[in-house]
Structure 1
Amino acid sequence: MDVEVLNHFLTVVREENISRAAERLHVTQPTLSRQMAALEEELGTQLFIRGKHLQLTDAGVLLRGRAEEVTQIIDKIRMEFKAGEELSGVVSIGTGGLMSAQILSKLISEFRALHPAVRFNIYTNSADHLREQLDRGLLDFAFLLEPVDIGKYDFVRMQVKERWGILMPKGHPLEEKPLISRKDLLHQPLVMTNRANVQKELAGWFGGSMEHLDFIATYNLINNVANLVSDGTACAMTLEGAVNFLDPQKFTFRPLSPDLSATSVVAWKKLSPFFGAASAFLSTIKRYAKTE
């Protein structure tokens, strides 16, 4: 399967039209149509529902995801092996709602002062998804909240404390409290993370069980349930760092009491053969961790 054909497939998907995709790719419409037909024949399945606007079949949706991953990796390889004395390339970093991730702006600023040709791809998602991206080689590094299984990774542990607390809408009755206790949450509709190992940590804070509490939803990113919080439907158990993405005019964060905190790590694939931009940035991360 030719990488160029996968790129052409992705262009067709974006344009939803063979003619427009052919114009963008500077090829003839018959040529592009034959490429797509040959791709379907090679895979033994229909990829498009043809009409005024092309739509993907389930197989087409699957191929789109795989093609995006493959083309990203190919682009990354090309950048890593790009000739020239000046350090260049793209460093891909995954983050979540963590206080420790706030060091990224400082690290990138200092790094680019020395290597201005290097670019960064910052990707935000849940820890479980970031680990998948690390495993597939789509990310060089990821900030991960502990507890997390890091047996497959090398890492440096960050010293910043990641505090758990309650996110509530402005004007909520609990806003008057500087700290939120277990008792405060007994009759309060709540949402929490869908990560099983983190749920165990939260259950421990509640005394070992959360069956007596009113949890109405779970989330992988706090942004997904922000509307439930802003309209007063529920409060969210979340990390302090996650609220930095939300409008401070609409939300209030209060830490838990007794304190519930976690640590985080910057992780990368074990024995990963880094060189070029990623290798240089890894040295920057390690240097920061030592001086922190």
Structure 2
Amino acid sequence: MTTYELLAAPFVDFGFMRRALVACLALALGSAPVGVLLVLRRMSLVGDAMAHALLPGAALGAAVAGFSLWAMSLGGFLAALAVAVAASWLTQRTAQREDASFTALYLIALAAGVMLVSSRGSSVDLMHLLFGSVLAVDDAALLLVAGVASVSLLALAAAYRPLVVACIDPSWLRQMGAGGWAGTVLLVLAVANLVACFQALGTLMSVGLMMLPATSARFWVARIAPQMAVAALLALLSGVAGLLLSFHGEQASGPAIVLVAGGFYLLSLLFGTREGLLWQGRRGGLA
């Protein structure tokens, strides 16, 4: 097999591969920078909880309107926001920590979503909601993913400094009177991008393309803006490599993309020039 047949032919010869590639590009540009802010604010597990909380809303939207893109997206968006707001309220009103509140609520939401899909649909419907199918992305889903990515980039550009400060020193930003809206904007951006990822990767895999490149980027650069650029690049490379792996190996596309992103994380963990394990060992030996 030639290099052309291995790397280029799938995207040149097949329209569904080109649509999947465009979807991965949009997801990389929109979700990876938001993931960097979530990591900076120590909300990585919160992102995972919100991704799982999409399921009951998407399942309810499918039960009401069939497998309608907009009904499932709106339902998932509202369900994830509801879990986030409820977890924040529980944290403020009880002695329970935020991570415990999110864990309890997302488990309840996930179980409710699975039962709802099982009672109203088939095992195929459940697999589609859990794992998605980026190779089946149509024009409407592409418009949604591209729209979310565009809004995310514009919002990050317009509110970059307050969002960064809200992650580094939220107490100071609250004293300045901007803490509330900055945190809300970050939460809405996170949920919107998870909804976009859900269309391609499903509820179980959607957080992977947001968080794995973001955590990997921290091993290469220290400043936040370059971290966002590196995270977006790693997310795009994960998408391209995952699509090729799923095409040639006849594997599920979503898990393949997230698995490649996990491979980049392990490589960054070992070889990253900023706190990578091998670089730490080398500095220790030189010392």
Q: Compare relative contact order (CA 8 Å, sep 6+) and give the higher one, 1 or 2.
A: 2
Normalising by structure 2, report the TM-score.
0.23
Specify the structure having the higher radius of gyration (Cα).
1
Identify the structure with the greater helix proportion: 2
Normalising by structure 1, report the TM-score.
0.23
